[in-house]
C-alpha cells in the first residue's frame, strides 16, 4: 500500500520537460549534480555535470554509453577535463 501511495504521489507531481530543451537540459544537470555530490569531484560538480550532460545529449537518444570514451592522461588538473567534439586515432 505504501509503495502504491508513493508511486501515485510521484506521478501526480512529475513534470515532463522533454518538449522544452532548456528545461530538459536543466533537469539533466540537476540530476548529474546530485549524483556527483557524493563523489570525489564535489568541488567541481558543476563542470563535470555539464561535461556529462553534454556528452549524453550528443548521443541524440542512443543509450549506448560505450560511444562516450574517457581518456585518462597523467599530470595536469582535474579542472582541465574537457569534452572533445571528435578524435581520430
pLDDT tens, 75-87? 888 888 898 887 6
* 69-75: long-range contacts, CB 8 A cutoff, minimum separation 24: none
Q: Helix, strand, coil shares of the chain as percentages rounded to 5?
A: 55, 0, 45
pLDDT tens profile 5-54? 999 999 999 999 989 999 999 999 999 999 888 777 778 899 999 999 99
Nearest to 51 by CA among 29, 74, 26: 29
Q: Any idea what the Cα angle at residue 64 is, between residues 70 and 66, rounded to 5°?
A: 25
Q: CA 79 from chain center: how many Å? A: 17
Which pTM was predicted? 0.74
Question: Within a 10 A sphere around the Cβ of 49, how many other Cβ atoms?
Answer: 21
Amino acid at each position: 500500500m505504501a509503495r502504491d501511495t508513493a508511486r501515485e504521489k510521484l506521478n501526480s507531481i512529475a513534470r515532463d520537460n522533454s518538449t522544452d530543451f532548456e528545461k530538459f537540459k536543466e533537469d539533466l544537470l540537476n540530476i548529474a549534480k546530485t549524483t556527483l555530490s557524493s563523489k570525489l569531484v564535489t568541488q567541481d560538480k558543476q563542470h563535470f555535470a555539464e561535461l556529462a550532460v553534454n556528452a549524453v545529449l550528443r548521443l541524440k537518444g542512443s543509450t549506448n554509453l560505450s560511444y562516450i570514451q574517457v581518456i585518462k592522461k597523467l599530470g595536469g588538473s582535474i579542472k582541465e577535463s574537457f569534452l572533445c567534439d571528435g578524435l581520430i586515432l
